[in-house]
């Protein structure tokens, strides 16, 4: 658990530096307080400590899944960084949020099973649970980028769109309003150039049914995740996982 939390923290340190984020959940990031060099080295140090902690399990499968997950996360960040003209489609979006978020949830779900030498069928079901709630978590995160509170999120509303990052609410809105003037401008310029246009488009997405439809997609992934737990007996541990899944679509931060 410590290794997973440390891995997650390391990715956030690097993520904040790449995005130029000065706040995370309302608190100053390392990027806001230290030099870029110091932030990079701090993230690297945390990655190294994560590897040490994973090695202490003396489990080759656990060490392998840690390495695979880190590879997936870094590859996803590279794809996002190098994709200046991001395609506005679901396929690219779901690939990106798997690498960004769901891969880590997957690892969390199966690491303990690997430590117990559980059979492949159980590991597969837990992998499905982790994947599904991880996808749902990131969808909700992307929704909150439009309808969350600045004081809670610690970043401006519509921050992703302002940076040219295409998320599910934007995709759904664009699909339903292809002839909207701001949508046309965005597609033409591969991003918004005018701050006025940015704000108009953000407000339009917030007021549309793209938000509710995005929540519906997240709920469907939660349903799939809970369904994957059916193999477990009705024990407290299963109910805890189900409660965790239910919380994801109701959270405000």
pLDDT tens digits, 164-219: 889 999 999 999 998 888 887 776 555 545 544 788 999 999 999 999 999 999 99
Please state which of the ranges 1-5, 81-85, 169-173, 216-220 shows the lowest mean pLDDT.
81-85
Phi/psi for 156 (5° steps) reads -65, 145
Tokens representing 182 are 């701001």
Residue at token pair 């024990």: 235
Model pLDDT, residue 195: 45
Model pLDDT, residue 196: 46
pLDDT tens digits, 118-172: 889 999 999 999 999 999 999 999 999 999 776 556 667 888 888 888 999 999 9
Query: Once rounded to an integer, what is the mean pLDDT over residues 73-92?
Result: 82
Model pLDDT, residue 153: 60
Model pLDDT, residue 250: 92
Domains annotated on the chain, with CATH? 93-248 (1.10.600.10)
Is 0.85 surpassed by the pTM of this model?
yes
- The percent of residues in the chain predicted with pLDDT above 90, rounded, is 59
Of residues 181 and 46, more confidently modeled: 46
Model pLDDT, residue 115: 85
Model pLDDT, residue 187: 67
Query: Once rounded to an integer, what is the mean pLDDT over residues 61-70?
Result: 93
- The percent of residues in the chain predicted with pLDDT above 70, rounded, is 92
Q: Is the pLDDT of residue 79 over 90?
A: no
Query: Once rounded to an integer, what is the mean pLDDT over residues 16-23?
Result: 80
Model pLDDT, residue 23: 75
Of residues 79 and 206, more confidently modeled: 206
Phi-psi region of 85 (alpha: psi -120 to 50; beta: other; left: phi over 0): beta
């Amino acid at each position: 658990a410590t290794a997973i939390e440390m891995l997650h923290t390391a990715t956030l340190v690097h993520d904040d530096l790449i995005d130029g984020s000065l706040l995370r959940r309302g608190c100053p990031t390392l990027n806001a307080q230290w030099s870029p060099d110091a932030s990079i080295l701090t993230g690297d140090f945390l990655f190294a400590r994560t590897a040490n902690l994973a090695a202490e399990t003396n489990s080759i499968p656990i060490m392998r899944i840690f390495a695979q997950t880190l590879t997936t996360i870094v590859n996803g960040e590279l794809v996002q960084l190098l994709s200046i003209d991001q395609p506005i489609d679901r396929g690219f979006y779901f690939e990106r949020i798997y690498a960004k978020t769901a891969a880590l949830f997957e690892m969390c779900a199966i690491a303990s099973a690997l430590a117990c030498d559980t059979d492949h069928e159980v590991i597969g079901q837990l992998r499905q649970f982790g994947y599904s709630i991880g996808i749902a978590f990131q969808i909700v995160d992307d929704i909150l980028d439009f309808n969350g509170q600045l004081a809670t999120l610690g970043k401006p509303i519509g921050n992703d769109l302002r940076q040219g990052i295409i998320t599910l609410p934007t995709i759904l809105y664009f699909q339903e309003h292809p002839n909207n003037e701001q949508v046309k401008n965005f597609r033409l310029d591969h991003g918004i150039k005018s701050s006025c246009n940015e704000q108009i488009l953000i407000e339009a997405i917030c007021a549309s049914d793209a938000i509710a439809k995005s929540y519906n997609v997240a709920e469907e992934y939660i349903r799939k995740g809970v369904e994957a737990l059916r193999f477990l007996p009705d024990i407290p541990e299963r109910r805890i996982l189900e409660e965790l899944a239910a919380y994801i679509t109701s959270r405000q931060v």
